[in-house]
């Protein structure tokens, strides 16, 4: 397992503690009580899907990598990318929502009792292109329609209402149905 962690997790996050051992930090732009509540919630369901909303320096990426590692330790297939990286890969046909790079449909099917986990970080404005929006929606829709195959966690610097204004009611509603919202509403 440590070899897999070393290959897939950047050095900055690789040596950080497991989720159960994470403690609040004075270097995060959230008060200790809020950090403690978030850490408790994640530890109750470390393999669930989450929508992290909040300003920069609130620890969203840090927690996403911690959850990514927990997915690997649980024997799940896990894949981590930024939203812009995902869109770029989709343009190059290197990523398909029903068959993410590193996964095949048969991998999803044989692990249906232990779903894969897709982590999408830095979901900001998609450049206002119809292509980017429709591709992002395609991924969210696949996860929404197949929760037994793949779980989804997303991080954005937007609060939930601004996210809703930017991405629309349908996409946001689907995310809220498959992800627990952590952070600013």
Q: pLDDT (tens digit, 9 = 90+) per residue, 166-183?
A: 888 999 999 999 999 998
pTM attached to this predicted model: 0.89
Domains along the sequence of the chain with CATH: 2-183 (3.40.50.300)
Token pair in block for residue 53: 């909303």
In what helix (H) or strand (E) does residue 125 lie, and over which residues does it extend?
none
Say which range, 9-18, 87-96, 118-127, 143-152, has the weakest mean pLDDT: 87-96
| Cα–Cα distance list, 59 to 12, 22, 25, 121, 180 (Å) | 13, 11, 9, 12, 16
Tell me the per-residue pLDDT of 25-50, one tens digit each, with 9 for 90 and over.
Answer: 888 888 899 999 999 999 999 999 99
**What's the pLDDT at 127?**
60
**What's the pLDDT at 47?**
93
Confidence label for 112 from pLDDT (cuts 50, 70 and 90) = low
**What's the pLDDT at 106?**
47
Stretch 152-172: mean pLDDT, rounded? 92
């Amino acid at each position: 397992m440590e070899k897999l962690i070393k290959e897939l997790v950047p050095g900055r996050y690789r040596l950080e503690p497991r989720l159960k051992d994470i403690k609040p930090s004075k270097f995060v732009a959230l008060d200790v009580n809020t950090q403690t509540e978030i850490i408790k919630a994640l530890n109750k369901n470390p393999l669930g899907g989450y929508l992290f909303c909040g300003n920069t320096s609130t620890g969203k990426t840090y927690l996403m990598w911690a959850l990514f590692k927990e997915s690997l330790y649980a024997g799940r297939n896990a894949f981590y990318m930024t939203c812009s990286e995902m869109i770029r890969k989709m343009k190059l046909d290197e990523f398909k929502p029903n068959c993410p790079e590193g996964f095949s449909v048969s991998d999803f099917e044989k692990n249906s009792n232990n779903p894969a986990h897709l982590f999408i970080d830095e979901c900001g404005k998609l450049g206002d292109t119809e292509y980017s929006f429709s591709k992002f929606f395609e991924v969210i829709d696949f996860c929404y329609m197949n929760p037994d195959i793949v779980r989804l966690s997303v991080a954005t610097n937007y609060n939930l209402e601004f996210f809703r204004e930017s991405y629309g009611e349908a996409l946001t509603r689907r995310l809220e149905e498959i992800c627990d919202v952590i952070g600013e509403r």
